[in-house]
């Protein structure tokens, strides 16, 4: 029940945010984006994810954890996405779900 409530709250907040946003202002802001800087920011974010996943890969090799390195990269990317979209309590519950792993 708590997960459903948290998820519903997320949907409601996203609805309110998108309803309040002035689309013309948003398009003006997006037209002023310096795309080389945006690309550089995305590259740095992906690089930091790669470094963090390498760290976890090396740590988990010690107790004979047999997952490949791609497992850690995918896990980190999923965590990054869901931490931005879902409330904290909801995502904590999802991590225990075998379908998310």
Query: Does residue 60 contact residue 67 with C-beta atoms inside 8 Å?
Result: yes
CA 92 – CA 47 distance, rounded (Å): 25
Q: How confident is the prediction along the chain (101 residues), in pLDDT tens digits per residue?
A: 778 887 888 888 888 887 888 878 888 998 999 999 999 999 998 898 888 888 877 777 777 777 777 887 787 777 777 777 666 655 555 554 444 44
Q: Is the pTM of this model over 0.85?
A: no
Domain range list for the chain: 2-94
């Amino acid at each position: 029940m708590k997960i459903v409530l948290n998820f519903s709250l997320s949907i409601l907040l996203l609805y309110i945010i998108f309803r309040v946003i002035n689309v013309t202002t948003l398009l003006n802001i997006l037209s002023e984006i310096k795309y080389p800087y945006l690309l550089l920011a995305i590259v740095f974010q992906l690089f930091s994810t790669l470094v963090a996943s390498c760290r976890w890969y090396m740590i988990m090799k010690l107790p004979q954890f047999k997952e490949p390195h791609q497992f850690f990269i995918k896990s980190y990317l999923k965590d990054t996405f869901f931490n931005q979209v879902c409330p904290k309590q909801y995502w904590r519950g999802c991590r225990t779900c075998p379908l998310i792993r």
